[in-house]
């Protein structure tokens, strides 16, 4: 797991005034999940990670060259007559 992600989760949790157990309860996951995320464990399931991020109001964005190209093609300016 990316070092930045574990730091982001830990900092958001602390700034929110939540313990790991409180965040886990809000997210509907086990308290060890929050511990694992904050310690960079790479085997945390993606759907479980999303629950924790949602509880902290953190949005996840996926980027790729293919998605960017597709988005540009949809926004393509129309030729004026």
pLDDT per residue as tens digits for the range 16-47: 999 999 999 999 999 999 999 999 999 999 99
74 vs 81 pLDDT, higher one: 74
SS (H, E, C) the chain: CCHHHHHHHHHHHHHCCCCHHHHHHHHCCCHHHHHHHHCCCCCCCHHHHHHHHHHCCCCCCCCCHHHHHHHHHHCCCCCCC
Q: pTM higher than 0.85, yes or no? A: no
Asked if 34 contacts 26 with a C-beta cutoff of 8 angstroms, the reply is: no
Give every CB contact of residue 66 below 8 A, 6+ residues apart in sequence: none
pLDDT at position 80 is 59
Checking if the pLDDT of 73 tops 90, the result is no
Give the chain's domains with CATH numbers.
3-74 (1.10.260.40)
- pLDDT bracket for residue 81 (50, 70, 90): very low
């Amino acid at each position: 797991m990316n070092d930045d992600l574990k730091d982001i989760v830990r900092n958001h949790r602390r700034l929110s005034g939540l313990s790991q157990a409180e965040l886990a309860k809000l997210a509907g996951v086990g308290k060890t999940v929050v511990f694992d995320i904050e310690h960079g464990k790479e085997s945390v399931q993606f759907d479980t990670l999303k629950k924790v991020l949602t509880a902290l109001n953190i949005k996840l964005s996926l980027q790729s060259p293919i998605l960017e190209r597709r988005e540009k093609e949809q926004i393509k300016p129309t030729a004026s007559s």
